[in-house]
Amino acid sequence: MSREGALAGVKAVIDAGPTYEDIDPVRFLGNRSSGKMGFAVAEAAVQAGAEVILIAGPVALPTPPGVARRVDVRSARQMRDAVMRAMDGADIFIAAAAVADWRVADYSARKIKKGPAGAPVLELVENPDILAEVAARDPRPFVVGFAAETDHVTEHAREKLVRKKLDLLAANRVDENIGIGTDDNALELIWTDGSETLPRAGKSELAKALVARIAAHYHARRRA
């Protein structure tokens, strides 16, 4: 762990992994995020000297060495509350989690049984947008978002950067072979007046490159 790295003296909050939205005591809505990218970013940020608080959805990953605090959560609303509690005095927020966009409107405390009425119809309601909420805070930390896109990657990512008022957005193309649940990845970094491609690499190497770019943009914004 370096106290002299590019993020020495910086407090970073990072969320990672999926969220699970419970339907009943045995079923949930989830997604294919493994949390590997977010955990690799947390490890790289520690190595760059940051004090890292890691808010993790349900993942099977060990805490990277040197992480100051890890908070495990399950649902998007729990993740939102844990992130907001961790944000006081934070300089950087990195939203690497694949937060479920929706949850079921009515959680059933009893297991839903098959019956003559046929298949249940689930009503969904929107979850809080953690990234947009952090970006709207005052004082506002340096905010980094991720975007997983299947098509028109750059155009969709730039729209998301503006809509969610982000400093930096890391976009990745998702298909069957790359992006979610895989061990390597490629990222398109996008900011207000520029972009840069971080070529396909293992998640740990890519996370180091990403954290170096985050540090450079963070310090440039502070100098501005």
* Sign of the dihedral defined by the CA atoms of residues 31, 185, 97, 137, in that order: negative
Closer by beta carbon to ligand CTP, 147 or else 198: 147
Closer by beta carbon to ligand CTP, 5 or else 36: 36
Q: Does 99 bind ligand CTP (CB under 6 A)?
A: yes
> For ligand CTP, which stretch binds (CB under 6 A), given 4-12, 96-104, 108-116, 195-203?
96-104
Any idea which residues carry the catalytic annotation? Answer: 31
Q: Does 23 bind ligand CTP (CB under 6 A)?
A: no
| Smallest separation, CB 34 to ligand CTP (Å) | 14
Q: Does 95 bind ligand CTP (CB under 6 A)?
A: yes
Which of 97, 180, 187, 190 touches ligand CTP by CB under 6 A?
A: 97
Q: Is 81 helix (H, G, I), strand (E, B) or coil?
A: helix
Please report, as residue ranges, which positions from 115 to 144 form the binding site for ligand CTP (by CB under 6 A): 127, 129-131
- Cα Rg for the chain, rounded, in angstroms? 18
Beta-carbon neighbour count of residue 32 at 10 Å? 12
Q: Which two tokens stand for residue 166?
A: 């982000």
Q: Which two tokens stand for residue 16?
A: 């990672």
| Smallest separation, CB 154 to ligand CTP (Å) | 14
Q: Which residues contact 82 (CB under 8 A, 6 or more apart)?
A: 55, 71, 73
Closer by beta carbon to ligand CTP, 59 or else 112: 59
Q: Which residues contact 193 (CB under 8 A, 6 or more apart)?
A: none
Q: Does 190 bind ligand CTP (CB under 6 A)?
A: no
Q: How far apart are CA 65 and CA 49, in angstroms?
A: 12
Using CB under 6 A as the binding criterion, the count of chain residues that bind ligand CTP stands at 14
Closer by beta carbon to ligand CTP, 49 or else 214: 214
Nearest one of 38, 68, 50 to 11, comparing CA atoms: 50
Q: How far apart are CA 160 and CA 38, in angstroms?
A: 19
| Smallest separation, CB 131 to ligand CTP (Å) | 3
Instruction: Tell me, residue by residue from 143 to 162, as one string, x for binding to ligand CTP by CB under 6 A and - for no binding.
Output: --xxxx-----------x--
Side-chain half-sphere of 29: how many Cα atoms within 13 Å? 18
Which residues of this chain interact with ligand CTP, rule CB under 6 A? 76, 95, 97, 99, 101, 127, 129-131, 145-148, 160
